[in-house]
């Protein structure tokens, strides 16, 4: 799935980013839930090396 994630610091919201989610079952997702950044497999290059990308997963 894809989601809009609000990144914050001690003062509050800083920026919103659109990103991949590791969970794609709508029943397991809700607005305002905490997520954390993780790395997931994306593809492999012509030499067989794994290429990764970032995603957000529920905490």
Three-state SS at 2: strand
Task: From 24, 17, 19, select the one nearest 1 (Cα to Cα).
Answer: 24
Model pTM? Answer: 0.83
DSSP state of 30: -
pLDDT the model gives residue 37: 97
Q: Domain spans of the chain? A: 2-58
Which pLDDT value is given to residue 3? 96
Q: How far apart are CA 58 and CA 37, in angstroms?
A: 9
47: its two tokens: 């030499």
**pLDDT at residue 58 in the model:** 97
Confidence (pLDDT) at 57: 98
pLDDT digits (tens, 9 = 90+) for 21-52: 999 999 999 999 999 999 999 999 999 999 99
């Amino acid at each position: 799935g894809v989601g809009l994630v609000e990144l914050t610091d001690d003062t509050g919201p800083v920026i919103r980013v659109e990103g991949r989610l590791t969970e794609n079952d709508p029943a397991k997702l809700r607005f305002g839930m905490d997520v954390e950044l993780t790395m997931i497999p994306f593809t492999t290059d012509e030499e067989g090396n794994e290429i990764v990308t970032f995603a957000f997963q529920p905490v």
